Structure 1
């Protein structure tokens, strides 16, 4: 079991590199290029939000999992903007090799499962894959069209794609989205419908990509943001779900983690080892949850709010495991980066025992048993160096 867990964590460490892959799209505020990890998180959110618009034979939870995985190969092959002249057959072959390499890091049964799901997305033949592809076409399009001051070159690319490029098929496959994009491009008055009433929440969610956390990336000295963290923690939960202490619904855990940090758009991130007025922070987060989820139509706003509150309460089996994984990810990153936020906040091993251990040990004791010797060794080394 230790070797299996080590293989799973080796895959999750490698996945961290997706946060450094830049896309042609930029954030809605135009501040920087979007990266492929936060794009994957945003697409998973699109899937959850647009679920009522999917065909009856679509499994949204499978779509979410596809979208968590769909761009992982870009760690090796990079992103290929659709408006550039590209040998797409060569790209497809390179991506297939990259998928075998990356998913080969996992235990064989998981690796085969993940690669099959990735191939299903690429094949675009099943109902789940078709809906996932539709969303993958929509998000970059509205990333451009919903910006306050979109770049002229990006508007031109969006128009070209709608006129005869990859997005044109949305006119038949997802007409509500296509018609709204057309209205935004032409300045026409948009319709109010099941698509347009959900879009404000999704555009507001883009702001999570600008909320910085205390932890750093494993392969870069920059700070992680809360959107890419949410993507990574969902991947952690999925890969490590077999280590939960009790029976859980992986699908519900993933939905919780998809939403768990959305309130940081208003309330900001507050590191576990920082000095925080917890009552004041809880009040800010509660107000944020109400504002953000109220952007959604009923009954979706209530369902999302209930799921977020369940995570915060950490009483159900699903929430307990979600909290365990949320505590587990940062120590992995800190061990990879020479201490990371522990150095910044002058953290001791005793503080780890108090603030981190209970959540991990309660929800997934196998993860704590794997992690604890490495934590002890790191802090012992730090004490020896300071002596």
Structure 2
């Protein structure tokens, strides 16, 4: 039987998770405001639901959704550090990892058995990208980011994000359907940049030369 202590732990984590509604990410929405972590996670979850029938390999949908929903939960405690910040200052990568590991360990302790260890293991599975579900979840993570960039005003893009629009291949090569979805999202980015007078051929050449 579920105890009051277990239910209180759930409420405590839900209270913590409420922070994700106002923890802002680097990405902007089409309305011109920054998106929240919660909004990113919600659309990743929707991507999973809508794409599941099209994946060429059977996926454990319950596991996939759990992984998607909890992958950024640690940011309620650790905060969001964008990939751009880490690219600009690689020393931040270790700081980010340490904060996130401490946050997931705190969540495991707070929730206790049996949920704490399950959340903990799913988070590390997502990070390690070894299982099919983890690879799919990570692909959705990267694709949703680019999709949001495509929907934001081009003036919110940093120059490095022009390059990143053509750097998603490594996240989708394992799944043909996700590769095709990536191509569509990449085409949107390409058209958006061209419409703003950006030389996308030069950017493609720069990315290929890396």
Give how far 1:234 is off.
0.5
Structure 1 gaps of 5+ residues are 1-51, 54-175, 177-191
Contact 1:310 1:319 in 2 (8 A): yes
Q: How does 1:177-256 map to 2 (within 5 A)?
A: 192-218=4-30, 220-256=31-67
Aligned length: 194
Q: TM-score, normalised by structure 2?
A: 0.81
Among 66, 69, 75, the residue aligned to 1:264: 75
Give how far 1:245 is off.
4.9
Residue in 1 aligned with 2:203?
Answer: none
| CA distance, structure 2, for counterparts of residue 337 and residue 358 of structure 1 | 24
SS of the residue 2:159 aligns to: coil
Which structure has the greater CA radius of gyration?
1
| CA distance, structure 2, for counterparts of residue 272 and residue 237 of structure 1 | 22
Residue in 2 aligned with 1:371?
Answer: 185
Measured at CA, do residues 340 and 248 of structure 1 come closer, stay the same or move farther in structure 2, by a change above 3 Å? farther
Measured at CA, do residues 244 and 349 of structure 1 come closer, stay the same or move farther in structure 2, by a change above 3 Å? farther
Contact 2:22 2:36 in 1 (8 A): yes
Give how far 1:199 is off.
2.0
The RMSD of aligned alpha carbons is: 2.5
Structure 2 gaps of 5+ residues are 201-210
| CA distance, structure 2, for counterparts of residue 196 and residue 357 of structure 1 | 43
Residue in 1 aligned with 2:93?
Answer: 278
Residue in 2 aligned with 1:352?
Answer: 165
Residue in 2 aligned with 1:48?
Answer: none
Residue in 2 aligned with 1:311?
Answer: 126
SS of the residue 1:353 aligns to: coil
| CA distance, structure 1, for counterparts of residue 121 and residue 134 of structure 2 | 12
SS of the residue 1:224 aligns to: strand
SS of the residue 1:248 aligns to: coil
Give how far 1:376 is off.
2.4
